[in-house]
Amino acid sequence: MFKDDIDKIWEAFLKDRSKMVLKEKLLMHYVPLVRIIAGRMMISLPASVSLDDLVSNGLIGLINAIDRFDAEKCVNFE
């Protein structure tokens, strides 16, 4: 997805947060980032922590972050 596309999706989502289709598109855009970060974190965690559990928790965090994002603070979501 191009930067302009994601910006348009964010703009539409921030106008009407009830549109689940837009939220789903945002989630799908950022899932690879969650997987990359989880993979990097695995290096410093004990072997008892599974990558799948880490990714699952990361996705929950992503959902919460999208829900709470405030564009008026003039920061990029990333």
Distance (Å, whole) CA 39 – CA 2: 24
Burial of 47-62, coded b for 16+ CB within 10 Å and e otherwise, reads: eeeeeeebbeebbeeb
pLDDT in tens, 5-18: 999 999 999 999 99
Whole-model pTM?
0.84
Average pLDDT over residues 16-26: 94
